[in-house]
Structure 1
Amino acid sequence: MKGIAGAPVSFGVFELTADQPLPEPEEILASLHDLGYDGVDLGPVGWLGRGDDIKRRLRDHDLVLVGGWVDLPFTDDDAFRAALPALDDALEIFTAAAELDPSRPPLPTLADSGSDLRRANPGGAAPGLSLDGAGWDRLAANVATAAGRVRAAGLEPTFHHHACTYVETPAEIDEFLARTDVGLTFDTGHLLIGGGDPLEGWRRWGGRINHLHLKDARTSVLADVVREKGGMRDVWERRAFVELGAGDLDLDGFMDAVFASAFDGWLVVEQDVVPSPSDPPERVVEDQRANREALRRWLP
């Protein structure tokens, strides 16, 4: 394993909160370093800075950039072509950060942008949500184009199965892997939300997994949202994603399986949080302290 990383999303910094005032990067990087993390995810593109700025910040806090979310509309050819400059922009940041530790370069984390239909139906279980054959053909061809761009930049891509996108359920992950050559970002929390079992998924797809997002989730929250016909944001705002050990993830069984395997990627601890004004200021840091402590048995 390359190391253990934290993520800005665990501090409420990600795409769903990018329109709100965000904490300064130094504040989060300092917390992650002090809590015992080795690396960090990118967060919203540009938030950590670019070029010399991101290298300085990472160096000052003795952290490595491990990856970062880049979602693209893979099922819409015109929208996908229009979005490629955004991928190129992100790749400039990744390649700059890779100079700090060439032996552990970041993995640009590709993901599907989903659709209004998928965002309105979290979990992917409602009928009529999945792609047809032509849709899968488009997605696979566009993923190949994006992966080629990443590899041309000297980096290796990974693909994140994610709630409320067209690669969410176990069957959709199977289809994605059958149609592409890109490694999988395995996200335990999003697999729970998508109706899968993390331990079974790890055994099933282990040969393709090159990046790990370790996340706990309460599926009862998803069930409530689905019953009330809520959407994606409701899943996050109702705190479906919780600190390790507080949800439905069998942490001991899963981590034992990871360490019994040949996995040689990063383990990124994530706890997706949409902050509430009523939250105590210290809550987010204490949650990440608890997450790090939960892993001491395997990562002292």
Structure 2
Amino acid sequence: MIKDRVAGAPISWGVCEVPGWGHQLAPARVLAEMRDLGLAATEFGPPGFLPAGAAERAALLAGHGLRAVGGFAPVVLHDPDRDPLPDVRRILAGFGVERSNERLTLVLAAVHGLDGYDERLVLDPAGWAALLGNLDRIAAAAAAAGVRAVLHPHAGTMVERSDEVRRVLDGSGIPLCLDTGHLLIGGTDPGDLAARAPGRIAHVHLKDVDAGLAEAVRAGATPYTDAVRDGIYRPLGAGDIDIAGIIGSLEGAGYDGWYVLEQDMIIDAEPAAGAGPAADVRACVDFLAGIPA
């Protein structure tokens, strides 16, 4: 049903921008395994994973039979004294839209400015005003550059909990990245959001989740990074989220964007060929193939 719109993300292979996030696999291996698993495209991954030059990046992806989706951008959006647009424009310039036949997506995370995603901060009214205003400014700047910007509600960021997601929906026009796992961790039912606001969903990250570990993160009993190591993210169909139901709801509402297999992973050493993260991604691909058209 959606095979040609299933993409990968380097974080599913443990490649992450957070310092000390574990062993980082080489791009050649990750891209080759994406290709061999039948994925159609990939997000860019953290800075330095793919070539910074648009032409070199496009050639590398094409050599592995992959298309470009766009990339994840952790940006401080809530500081009234800090304009995020210069940084965002530099990121957009690196997308090389003029060299791409794709509609690329800028996946924003409203980070707090500290390393990692283990801290939980709460915005004051001035912070909310800055964040909501910046979201609309960035969406407009991205559109002018030929890129679609979305906000990714994400554990350990300024938009994590269900009330914060609602505040973004009510107070800005930016579409969302529906990340099934991060939404559940923050207390939002991703299936309910997909059904309630399909017109605001412009990008999808598919994760399945151990609901018990998600609750431990939400309650502050387990840091996010520890939960990732403990296996909070499960292959699709092996956790507590109705992935098939969410896809069916989105497809029924006319969603025609990417489904990115984006399940945060930490590895400590180079796995054997075909083992490690690739085995989990293979299980996800097989699960999606079994969803009736």
Q: TM-score, normalised by structure 2?
A: 0.88
Report matched runs for 1:1-300 at 5 Å: 3-16=5-18, 22-49=24-51, 50-78=53-81, 80-81=82-83, 84-96=85-97, 99-101=99-101, 104-114=102-112, 119-120=117-118, 130-225=122-217, 229-277=221-269, 282-298=275-291
Contact in 2 for aligned 1:45/1:90 (Cα 8 Å): no
- Which amino acid is 2:184 matched to? L
Contact in 1 for aligned 2:136/2:172 (Cα 8 Å): yes
Contact in 1 for aligned 2:55/2:99 (Cα 8 Å): no
**Secondary structure of the residue that 1:246 maps to in structure 2?**
coil
Contact in 1 for aligned 2:162/2:186 (Cα 8 Å): yes
Contact in 2 for aligned 1:213/1:269 (Cα 8 Å): yes
Which shifted more, 237-246 or 6-15?
A: 237-246
- The number of residue pairs the alignment matches comes to 289
- Which amino acid is 1:24 matched to? A
CA distance in 2, matches of 1:261, 1:225: 31
Q: Indicate how the Cα distance of structure 1 residues 192 and 145 shifts in structure 2: closer, same or farther if over 3 A, else same.
A: same
CA distance in 2, matches of 1:299, 1:68: 29
- Which amino acid is 2:5 matched to? G
- Which amino acid is 1:91 matched to? L
Contact in 1 for aligned 2:23/2:267 (Cα 8 Å): no
**Secondary structure of the residue that 1:69 maps to in structure 2?**
strand
Identity score, percent: 32
Structure 2 segments unaligned to the other structure (5+ residues): none
- Which amino acid is 2:99 matched to? E
TM-superposed deviation, 1:299: 8.3
Contact in 1 for aligned 2:195/2:250 (Cα 8 Å): no
- Which amino acid is 2:125 matched to? G
Which shifted more, 12-21 or 59-68?
A: 12-21
CA distance in 2, matches of 1:182, 1:145: 9
CA distance in 2, matches of 1:67, 1:21: 23
- Which amino acid is 2:73 matched to? V
Contact in 2 for aligned 1:70/1:108 (Cα 8 Å): yes
Contact in 2 for aligned 1:18/1:44 (Cα 8 Å): no
**Secondary structure of the residue that 2:55 maps to in structure 1?**
helix
Contact in 2 for aligned 1:121/1:226 (Cα 8 Å): no
Q: Indicate how the Cα distance of structure 1 residues 115 and 56 shifts in structure 2: closer, same or farther if over 3 A, else same.
A: closer
Match of 1:125 in 2: none
Q: Indicate how the Cα distance of structure 1 residues 196 and 183 shifts in structure 2: closer, same or farther if over 3 A, else same.
A: same
TM-superposed deviation, 1:85: 4.1
Structure 1 segments unaligned to the other structure (5+ residues): 123-128
CA distance in 1, matches of 2:132, 2:186: 20
Match of 1:126 in 2: none
CA distance in 2, matches of 1:28, 1:246: 23
RMSD: 2.7
TM-superposed deviation, 1:174: 1.2
CA distance in 2, matches of 1:93, 1:46: 12
CA distance in 2, matches of 1:25, 1:262: 34
Q: Deviations over 1:101-122 (max 9, x none)?
A: 2xx3110111100366x95566
